[in-house]
Chains A and B, each alone.
Chain A
Amino acid sequence: MKTRIKELRARAGMTQSDLAGAVGVRRETIVYLEKGKYNPSLKLAHDVAVVLGSTIDEVFLFDEGE
């Protein structure tokens, strides 16, 4: 899974800590989300997308095989 969190976060002028605080998780979770190493729950994916002013399918990109 790839994500556009880093790009959208930078566009929104937010730090990882800002985003973490806005969605109620630790900063490390945002780090692993940005690296595509953590599969979030639907709720967290939704919250991240809302905070970044986007939609889930625009933020989280799945390969065909996944």
Chain B
Amino acid sequence: MEQKKRRFYIQLMLVGGLILIFGGFIGLVAGSKSPNTISVFIIAGFVMVLFAGLKLFREDAGLVDDERVKKIGAWGLSYSWFLTFIVLFLVFWVNELTLVNLDARTVTVGTILLMGVSAKFFQWYLFRKGDVE
């Protein structure tokens, strides 16, 4: 029952993603006046399809998300969030005191990379350690 429910949500995500991509391309072909909206539709659609594909692959490969995996995954994300919070706090003061001139693009890209890489690092470390405590 649980697996059926999971499959249903994955299929829903897949169909939703395909609809967004399709809608985006229709808008593109029809010459929509808001290219930003079309980009958001297509990118969001691709992300949804990608996630659905990854989830399906993990299910088929028998990679059960057991309680340890979920716990470490959640703690890894929490540590990453906290690290990013501290870094953004420092970036704010560095910028406020004009020690370094940072543009929005640099900070945004840096934040995206920091969150992704640090989450993976913390999860890798905790998996090796065995538990979060």
- Interface residues, chain A, with chain B CB atoms under 8 Å away: 24-26, 28-29, 32, 35, 37-41, 44
Contact = CB atoms under 8 A, between A and B. Distances in A.
Contacts of A25: 64, 66-68
Nearest to A21: B64
Interface of B: 63-64, 66-69, 129-131, 133
B68 A29 contact: yes
State the main secondary structure of chain B at its contact with A. loop
B129 A29 contact: no
B127 to A, nearest CB: 8
State the main secondary structure of chain A at its contact with B. loop
A26 B64 contact: yes
Contacts of A39: 131, 133
